[in-house]
Structures are given as C-alpha cells and as structure tokens.
C-alpha cells in the first residue's frame, strides 16, 4: 500500500514538474543520485573498468558523471510520461520509420529489439501515439501486484499493449493483426542456463534470445532500434533491419557500436556481467 501511495503521489507531483534537461530540478536530481546516494557507484565503476580497460580513471569518472546526468533525466522524464497529456509530447519524439518496415506491417507483424539506452520507455509508450501503428511491449511484471496494475495502466495510456514473456507467446499464436512487438533485449537473463553467449564489450556475455526464437517460429522480420537524444528532452528513434540468419549476433554488434558512440547513455548501473560462461573456465 505504501508503494502504491508513493507512486500516485509522484505522478501527481510530476504533473506540475517544469522539466528542463539542464534545469535546476534536473541538476538537483543528478547531484542526489551521484553525490548523496552514490547510486550503484561501485557497479558503474566495475562495469566501466570491464568494458573499457584502456580508459584512465579520469575518463571513467567523466563518463560516470555523464551517466548520472542521463539517468536523472530518465527518471524525471519517466514521471512526466505517466502524467502529461499527449499534446505535451509534440515535437519530443521523432520516429524515422523505414519504408520497408511500413510495407512489412501491411501484411505481418515485426519485432523491434531495443536496449536500455536513451529513453526506452518513451520510445515504446509513445510509439502508437505518433505512428498510429498497433504496438505491444514485452515487460517483466512487478512482484507487487497492486503497483504492477498501476504501472501497466500508465504505460498503456497512449495505446501500447503490455505483455509478459509468457503472454506474448500465446498472444502471437492467437492474434493475426499486424503489430510491432518491442523487446528490450540487453538485460542479463535471470537464469544462467538461458540465452546464448556473445562477445560484447570485451566480455563473453549472456543474452536473451527469445525475440529471435519467436521471429523464426512465426517468420517475422526483426529490426534493431537506436535512440538518440536531440536537444533537451527530445529523442530520435531509428530502425535497422537484422539479418534472419544472425538476428541476436547482429543486434549485439549494433548495441556495442551505439555504446561506443555514446557510452554515457547506456544503463551502467545494471549488473550486466553477473553470469560467467563456465565452458570457458
């Protein structure tokens, strides 16, 4: 009940939040996360050392500060996502949809593999609003059932459908209407025996491959999504088709290239390398 109350209070407050990427509230949130709470600082440092051993300490500190700046923006922008009306988001999202994807959607569904980079919540939640295309996002339900209902309601307020991994398998089997299915595919699997191993940022890394399995089962095209921050709280979302013979492998290559280009925008506070490939030990 406390979590539910706090959630509703935050949503109410965010209705009046004057959001600015370099504004006072954003700077305060960044200071709170980095200097007061030191939010997952050891995890961030360890991840950066693993991924970029060639960097010196000063450069890693610079990227970490940039990450906290991006993370605080993500937190504030998520709050307004769940409270502001549709008009507030005009000119804040630009979806660059390839003609080939549009043609595919005339007769079949497509899968989009995203990552924890940029604002992945905005990219999925606002997609039906700005494109008019039917869309669903695969998500992990929260253990707090009451809070899960509230979050699911907030995420679906502009037409996005929310499906758990178990639900999406059944849904695809019984629904023929063409739609976009969003998978955030870069998180560490809960089970070390699930997924496949790929080289990623210099580490043998376990990746979920559920999106690839579903694509092959239903013969669906797969695209990788790239999110880039433009001016202030505005984003551009672009898409690149993945080859059917190497879907997850090519996705991993795209993800690494995006991180190399803009390292501070990825979710470094996640324990990405908690699983080790025992076959290599």
| Higher per-residue confidence, 232 vs 120 | 120
For 46-57, write each residue's pLDDT tens digit. 999 999 999 999
pLDDT, position 1: 46
Going by pLDDT thresholds of 50, 70 and 90, the confidence category of residue 156 is: very high
Share of the chain above pLDDT 70, in %: 92
Mean pLDDT, rounded, for 199-222: 96
Place of tokens 């970490």: 64
The chain-wide mean pLDDT, for the chain, equals: 91
For 166-187, write each residue's pLDDT tens digit. 999 999 999 989 999 999 999 9
Mean pLDDT, rounded, for 241-245: 98
232 pLDDT exceeds 80?
A: no
| Higher per-residue confidence, 91 vs 224 | 224
- Poorest-pLDDT segment among 7-11, 81-85, 200-204, 238-242: 7-11
Residues 38, 65 contacting (CB under 8 angstroms)? no
């Amino acid at each position: 009940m406390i979590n539910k109350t706090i959630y509703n209070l935050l949503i109410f407050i965010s209705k009046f939040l004057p959001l600015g990427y370099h504004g006072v509230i954003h700077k305060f949130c960044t200071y709170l996360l980095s200097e007061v709470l030191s939010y997952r600082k050891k995890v961030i440092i360890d991840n950066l050392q693993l991924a970029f051993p060639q960097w010196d300490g000063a450069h890693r500190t610079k990227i970490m500060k940039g990450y906290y700046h991006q993370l605080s923006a993500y937190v504030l922008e998520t709050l307004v996502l769940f409270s502001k009306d549709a008009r507030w988001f005009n000119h804040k999202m630009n979806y660059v949809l390839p003609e080939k994807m549009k043609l595919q959607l005339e007769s079949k569904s497509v899968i989009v593999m995203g990552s924890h980079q940029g604002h992945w919540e905005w990219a999925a939640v606002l997609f039906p609003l700005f494109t008019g295309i039917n869309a669903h996002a695969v998500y992990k339900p929260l253990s707090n059932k009451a809070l899960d209902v509230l979050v699911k309601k907030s995420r679906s307020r502009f037409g996005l459908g929310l499906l758990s991994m178990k639900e999406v398998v059944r849904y695809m089997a019984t629904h023929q209407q063409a739609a976009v299915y969003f998978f955030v595919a870069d998180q560490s699997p809960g089970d070390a025996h699930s997924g496949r191993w790929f080289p990623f940022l210099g580490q043998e890394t376990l990746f979920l491959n559920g999106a690839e399995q579903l694509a092959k089962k239903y013969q669906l095209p797969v695209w990788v999504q790239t999110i880039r921050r433009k001016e202030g709280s505005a984003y551009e979302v672009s898409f690149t088709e993945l080859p059917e013979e190497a879907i997850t492998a090519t996705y991993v290559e795209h993800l690494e290239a995006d991180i190399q280009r803009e390292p501070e925008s990825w979710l470094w506070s996640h324990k990405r390398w908690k699983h080790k490939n025992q076959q290599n030990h």
